[in-house]
Amino acid sequence: MALCCAISNEVPEQPVISPVSGHVFEKRLIEKYIQENGVDPVSNEKLAADMLIPVKTSTVVKPRPPSATSIPAILKSLQDEWDAVMLHSFTLRQQLQTARQELSHALYQHDAACRVIARLIKEVTAAREALATLKPQAGLTTPAPGYNAPAPNPAIAADAGPETATQPAEEAVMSDEVIQKLQDKATLLTAERKKRGKTVPEGLATSDDIRSYRQLASHTGLHSASVPGILAIDLCLRDTSRLVTGGNDKNAVVFNKDTEQVMAILKGHTKKVTSVIYHPEEELVISASPDNTIRVWGIQTATCGQIIRAHDAPVTGISLHATGDYLLSCSTDMHWAFSDIRTGRVLTKVSEKTGQIMPALTCAQFHPDGLIFGTGTDDSIIKIWDLKERANVANFQGHQGPITSISFSENGYYLATSAEDSVVKLWDLRKLKNFKTLALEDNYEVKGLCFDQSGTYLAVAGSDVRVFLCKQWNELAVFNDHTAAATGVRFGHNSSFLASVSMDRSVKFFGLSE
């Protein structure tokens, strides 16, 4: 019985048997197949060359097939082979054309997808920047009475909701020159902030440094002992060795921590001083009090240069605009005001227009870019306002009790808030939502919040003084050195030290001991 190779269907010269399938193969063919595929060509089971069983047969002389013994038969064989090659070539060309069409279609889809993705990324970026600055849509607000801006579209103005801000007509309004000045400053600050956000400031204190901070000094003689308690603190950004404090004794005191000398005692308020600001570029101090006044002081002469009478009730919060020329203030009279510190003139005064009893404002602070700001209310709501449009553009709810402090991060995206509920909430201004809540101990009183100038750390003043690392929001250090509640805290240059004040009448400095 003749043996035939299962691959070539010809009589093998060196027949071997596969133990896997039992078929006979030409040795050289099956070895090449195994080398390329590693399996039996019939059963597709794993097969190795050393598993093949050689078959001993006598040498067979292969006769020529009868069909190839004549010229016509040879020509027919060649013609058949040519026809097969042409058919195969035609099939390959068809497959190539189909592959080209599929590839062209895939490339077109990829190009279209890239264009759509690029457009969406551009739109998302623009939307995020708009949310970061909280620019209100034209349909959300209507001009306040007495506002000399161009008339709005009537169809848009008709949709204005009950949250629209109103301004007393008798008050002066911001001129186009002031608005342009605010816009130019905001554009400059936004560009600088984005540039700074890419790198960590050189010399910034590390997390390990903060953990190692200890009390370096304590001063209790700045304010009167007869009416103890320091209620506010602020550092000069130009020289953080200088600070100003406001106390229960109705005075504001300017102090130099390096020389440990009092530079000026500012007397004039008829009630306690609850808010103070040290001007970042000039020798000026701004103070506010429940006596309904805001005073601008010259440090060198220790005299009051301007008295701003923007409110008819106790002033609860002040914040200096980045230009250094204008002041934001809020009061329990339910209004916030924007004033010129050079002239003492109130440029605008705004309250909400609602059908219900309006809440008193408890605190206020400008966004780093200066076009928006936040106010806290005694009904647990944080309101974000657009300064140019004087419109309430966003509200944050979630606290319990009156808002005690708000602080914008220098990165322009985060807002930290506190109330009488023993928590600190972090808000994302791009998404307008609370993304982190720092739960403190029960009955913990948060009196003040402060981000450092790099936006890396957040300090909390209250039952004690605490420092948190931003982004991770883990607690780095707790300082229990005050014997009463801390009312304010500020970071020194590059967070090289912390300064805090307390109801125990002391100013304390924390840093690395030499």
Q: What is the pLDDT of residues 254-306, one digit of tens each?
A: 999 999 999 999 999 999 999 999 999 999 999 999 999 999 999 999 999 89
**Beta-bridge partners for 295:** 287, 307
Residue 332 vs residues 269, 289, 376, 383, 440: alpha-carbon distances, Å: 18, 12, 11, 15, 28
How do residues 306-321 score in pLDDT, each as one tens digit?
999 999 999 999 999 9
- The answer to whether residue 353 is domain-embedded is yes
Per the structure, the complete domain to which residue 49 belongs is given by 15-61
- The answer to whether residue 376 is domain-embedded is yes
Same domain assignment for residues 38 and 185: no
- Domain limit, last residue, from 44, 61, 78: 61
| Averaged pLDDT score across all residues of the chain | 86
User: pLDDT band for position 335 (50/70/90)?
Assistant: very high
- CA distance linking residue 77 with residue 147, whole number of Å: 100
Per DSSP, the three-state class of 16 is: strand
Q: In what order do the strands lie in the sheet with 403-408?
A: 403-408, 414-419, 423-428, 433-439
Ranges of H-type helices in 383-480: none
pLDDT in the model for residue 68: 62
Residue 504 has pLDDT above 70, yes or no: yes
Residue 395 has pLDDT above 60, yes or no: yes
Angle at Cα 452 formed by Cα 314 and Cα 449, nearest 5°?
Answer: 35
- The answer to whether residue 412 is domain-embedded is yes
- CA distance linking residue 338 with residue 173, whole number of Å: 9
Same domain assignment for residues 51 and 169: no
- The answer to whether residue 221 is domain-embedded is yes
Same domain assignment for residues 176 and 56: no
pLDDT in the model for residue 251: 95
- Domain limit, last residue, from 5, 33, 61: 61
- CA distance linking residue 118 with residue 258, whole number of Å: 54
pLDDT in the model for residue 170: 40
How do residues 471-493 score in pLDDT, each as one tens digit?
899 999 999 999 999 999 999 99
- CA distance linking residue 295 with residue 313, whole number of Å: 15
Same domain assignment for residues 185 and 52: no
**Residue 365 parent element (H or E):** strand 361-366
Higher pLDDT, 260 or 158: 260
- CA distance linking residue 121 with residue 443, whole number of Å: 45
Query: What does the pLDDT average to over 381-408?
Result: 93
Query: What does the pLDDT average to over 161-176?
Result: 50
- The answer to whether residue 83 is domain-embedded is no
How do residues 115-151 score in pLDDT, each as one tens digit?
999 999 988 988 887 776 654 433 333 333 333 433 3
User: pLDDT band for position 173 (50/70/90)?
Assistant: low
* Dihedral sign from CA coordinates of 300, 303, 305, 309: positive
Query: What does the pLDDT average to over 216-233?
Result: 91
As given in the structure block, the two tokens for residue 483 are: 């014997």
Residue 504: partners with Cβ closer than 8 Å, 6 or more residues away: 220, 228, 482, 483, 484
Q: Are 354 and 162 in contact (CB under 8 A)?
A: yes
How do residues 367-378 score in pLDDT, each as one tens digit?
998 999 999 999
The total domain count for the chain is 2
**Beta-bridge partners for 382:** 376, 396
User: pLDDT band for position 162 (50/70/90)?
Assistant: very low
Higher pLDDT, 353 or 271: 271
Same domain assignment for residues 347 and 485: yes
Higher pLDDT, 450 or 63: 450
Candidate from 194-198, 214-218, 278-282, 378-382 with smallest mean pLDDT = 194-198
- CA distance linking residue 408 with residue 119, whole number of Å: 31
Residue 171 has pLDDT above 50, yes or no: no
Q: What percent of the chain has a predicted confidence (pLDDT) above 90? A: 66
Same domain assignment for residues 359 and 490: yes
As given in the structure block, the two tokens for residue 35 are: 């080398």
Same domain assignment for residues 327 and 466: yes
Concatenate the DSSP letters of all residues of 304-339 into one string: EEEEE---SS-EEEEEE-TTSSEEEEEETTS-EEEE
pLDDT in the model for residue 172: 53
How do residues 229-249 score in pLDDT, each as one tens digit?
999 999 999 999 999 999 999
pLDDT in the model for residue 98: 92
- The answer to whether residue 345 is domain-embedded is yes
Same domain assignment for residues 43 and 189: no
Q: Enter the pTM of the model.
A: 0.67
- CA distance linking residue 154 with residue 465, whole number of Å: 52
- Domain limit, last residue, from 61, 81, 98: 61
Candidate from 147-161, 197-211, 216-230, 243-257 with smallest mean pLDDT = 147-161
As given in the structure block, the two tokens for residue 102 are: 């599929």
Higher pLDDT, 232 or 202: 232
Query: What does the pLDDT average to over 222-233?
Result: 91
- The answer to whether residue 23 is domain-embedded is yes
Tell me, what CATH number does 223's domain have? 2.130.10.10
Same domain assignment for residues 56 and 169: no
Same domain assignment for residues 53 and 171: no
Residue 165 has pLDDT above 50, yes or no: no
Same domain assignment for residues 55 and 177: no
How do residues 87-113 score in pLDDT, each as one tens digit?
899 889 889 999 999 999 999 999 999
Tell me, what CATH number does 50's domain have? 3.30.40.10
- The answer to whether residue 69 is domain-embedded is no
